[in-house]
Amino acid sequence: MLRAEKGNSRRIFRTCQPCADLYQKIRGGGKVEGLIIRELLEQDLPDVVGIENISFTTPWSEILFFNEIYKQRSIAKVAIMEEAGSAQRVVGYICADYVADEGHILNLAVHPDFRKKGIAKILVKNVLEDLEKTDCRFLYLEVRASNVAAKKLYEGFGFVIVGTRKKYYNKPEEDAVIMRLAFRPRAAG
């Protein structure tokens, strides 16, 4: 289990050039008292689906999240908030996958009660750290064109807009902005 506030966040900054450039800027952030980042488990699915349903107009089904748990080359994480006593609550999640030298952030959400606390940033940083261990050179994602907060989050990690997908989303119909992060090549040896 990785505690986000005590994780080895510096490691990612050695290979991800945009992240290395931003290290000083975000180094002080990324700490949320009582937050734990760990792998998504089957027992988390009801909470994850609940967050999904209140976050998106066309939510993923439970089976899609279930598949992410067992899919090869998948990264599926949850943010768990430790509450009074030993109670724990799922407050966010991220799903990504990778094949060859490309990764893709598929889904990311934080419960409305826990937004604007840096949890999404911690989840993205955790995925970047995991992808550092692969041969991934590029990481892609789609985001609603109107989702200014999400675009700002990703731009803070060095993602850039590389295109659009017309009418990608529905309810309401909207274009997706395609964003990409280029990783620095890994050092040989």
Choosing from 142, 155, 169, 174, the catalytic residue is 142
Closest of 108, 87, 117 to residue 40, by C-alpha: 108
In which order are the strands placed within the sheet that holds 138-144? Answer: 35-39, 74-82, 88-99, 102-110, 138-144, 174-182, 160-169
Distance set, CA 32 to CA 6, 11, 21, 36, 86 (Å): 10, 20, 23, 9, 17
154 classed as catalytic: yes
Choosing from 68, 93, 129, 154, the catalytic residue is 154
142 classed as catalytic: yes
Rounded to whole angstroms, the Cα distance separating 15 from 1 reads 23
What is the set of active-site residues?
Answer: 142, 154
